[in-house]
Structure 1
Amino acid sequence: MAQLIPSLPNDIATECLRRLPFQHFPAATLACEDWKLEIESPEFFQGRKVAGYSQPTIVMALARVGEETGGSSQKNVRRPTYRLAFCDLKTGTWGELQPIPEFSKGLPMFCRLAVAGLNLVVIGGWDPETCRVSNAVFIYSFVSATWRRGADMPGAKRSLFGCASDINGNKVYVAGGHDEEKNALTSVLGYDVAKDDWIKLPDMARERDECNAVFHSGKIHVIGGYSTEAQGVFDASSEAFDLGEWRWVQMQENFLGTNMSARTCVADVTGRFCICQGSEVMVAYEDADWRRVAELPVDMGGVPACVMMGRNKLLVIGSGKSDDPHMFYELDLESCTWTKLEAPKQHSGHVQSICFLEI
C-alpha cells in the first residue's frame, strides 16, 4: 500500500484516520482511494474501538416538534412527521441524517430501525402521506453517508412487527406483526444486508401482532404481542429461535409476568433483559424472575422507547404527558443511578424507534 499520508509511517497515518469523527468519513473516503480502502476495512473500525476512538451513537425515528401532516386518505387526522436523528453520546452532538430519497417529506410511520455493522436499516412502515403499508427496505452507510434500496420484505405487507439484528451486525430479523387484513402473523424472516437477500425461518407457535424481538446468545427472542382474536389484549409469553439448531427451542408462558406491551423490552450481550413496567425498571435473566432495579425519574410517565447502550447502560425516553417534550435518561445498571441526557428542543419529539451503535 502507498503511504496514506506523505512523510508519515502508515501506522501513524492510520492513527490519525482513526481519530476522525464519523461525520468526516464521507469526505475522507472521497479524498483518497487509499484512505477509502483503509476506512472501509473491518480492521480499521476494530482498531478504532480498541483505541477508544469509537463514537457511541443513538439513532432515532424522531417526530419533528411542531410539525404535523394530514395524509390524503385521512384529511382530518393530524400526524407527526418523523425524521432520522442521531446523538453522538461521546461529544453530546445532535444532528439529522439525510432523508431517504423516496421519503423526503418524512419517514414511514411505524417503520423499524436496526443496525447492521456500520449500516442503518430502515424496514417497512406506512407511507406518511397515503398511509399505505410498505415492505420497502433502505440501508444507510455511515461510512459514505449514502442511501441504497434493499430488497423488499417478501410475502404479505406487514405492520407493527418485531425487529432485531444479530450480535455481529450481519443480519436483521423481523417477526410477527399483522397483514393488511389485520390478521396477526406467525411468520419470521431474516435479511442478509451484505447479500441483499431474504430467507424464511420456521413459523412461531403463536400469532404475535405488536410483538417485540431481541437478539442474544445466538437466539431470536420474540416477546409479547397478541393474536388476531385478542386484538390488543397482550400476551405475556415469549418464544426463542436458536439459529445454530435452526428450530424454536423455548416457550415461556409468563415471561413478562403480566399481560402488557413488550415494546420497552431490551437485552444486553450477557443475556440480561430489561423492561419498563409501570413506574419501575425491571431486569431478569432468561430463566429467572424479574426484579426491580430502579424507579423511573419522577418527571417521566409514559415510556415509548428504550435501548441498551453497551453492557451496563440503559437509555429510557419518555415524557410526563403525551404532549410534553420527551426526555432522555441514562440508567447505570451497576450503580442504579440516573443521568439526564440534555436534548435540544428540536430533538424532544416522540421517539418511534431507536437503535444504538458504536462507529
Structure 2
Amino acid sequence: MTTDTLTVVRRRFTLVALLLPAVVILVAVVAQVLLLPAVPAVVATHWGWTGEPDGFAPAWTVPLVTAILGLGLPATLFGASVGGLRRGDHGFAYRLLGAVAFGLAVLIGGLGVATLGIQVGRTDADAAFPVLLLPGVLLAAAAAGWIGWAVQPRVPWHPTPTMPAAEVPVRAGERVVWMQGVTLARGGAVVLWIAFAIGSLAVLPVVFFGDLVTAIISGLVVVVLFVVVATTLRFHVRVDPDGLTAVSAAGWPRVHVPTQDIVSAEVVQVSPFGEFGGWGIRWPGGGRQGVVLRAGEGLLVRRRDGRTLTVTVDDAATAAGLLSAYAALTSARRGD
C-alpha cells in the first residue's frame, strides 16, 4: 500500500474518530448549558419501562457527564488506534472504531440534550420519557456511524508472511521448558486505564444521586472494567511437553493448546488492531484466537482442527521450534 493511501487513511480516521465527535459534543454541551436555567435544579436522568422517571440528579451533572463521556470515549478509541496507524497498520477494525466513535458522540450528545429538553419549563422532575425519543436518537447515532464508515477508505489488512522457527533438538523423554513474559504495550495500558477512569467518573453521579438498584449496577460495571484492565496487563507464556500455555499474571484467563493438537508453529509479525481489532484475548473470526498485548513478533500455532492461536511474545522463534519438536515427537509416538 502506498504512502499516500496511508495518509488518507490516517486523516479520515482522525476526522471521524476525533474531530467530528468533538464538534458534536461541543454543540451538545453548549445547548445543554443554555437549557439549564429553564429546567428544575434536580432533573430526571433515568426512566423505567413505563416511561416514568426513576432516577434523578442535579441538572448540572447532565452536561458534565455528556462532556466526560462524549469527549473521553472517542478520544480513548482514537488514542488506542493512532499508534498503529502511524506504524502503517490499517484494516477493518480501524474503520469500525472511527465509525463507532462518531456514532457514540451523537448518541451521548443527543441523549444529554433530550434529557434536559423534555424537562424545559417544569418545576419538578416528573417528565415522562417520550416513546419515540430513544429510537430517534439511536437512529441518528446509527446514521452518524454509517457516515463515519463511508467517509473512510476501504483498505483491508493483509497478514505478513510467516517466518521459520528455530531448530530446537529434543530427544524422546527429555523435558525442555521455555518461558517468557509479555506486558501490554504502554499505549494500550494508558488507553485501558483512561477508559476505566472515564467509566468510573461517569457513574459517580448515578451512585450518589440515582436509585439503589441503578447505583449497584453502575458499581458492578466499574468492577468489571477494573477486572478487564487488571487481567490484560501481563501474561506468562510457557512451552513444555504439554504444549503452549498463556496465562494472565492475575491467574485468569488462561489459554492452553495441548501438544497433540498442534500441527505446526511459526513466527509472525502481529498487528493488534489490523488483525485482531485490539489488545487482550481476541477472537476475530475464522477460527483464529489471539493473546495480543503489543505489536511485533509473535508465535502462531496451527491446530489439527484448523483453528489457530497467535501469542505476541519475544523469542518466538525458539518457542516455535520447541513446540514443533514436541509435536513431532508426539506424532511419532502415535504413528502419524
TM class by smaller structure: under 0.3
Provide TM-score, normalisation by structure 2. 0.24
Structure with bigger strand share is 1
Higher relative contact order (CA 8 A, sep 6+): 2
Structure with bigger helix share is 2
Provide TM-score, normalisation by structure 1. 0.23
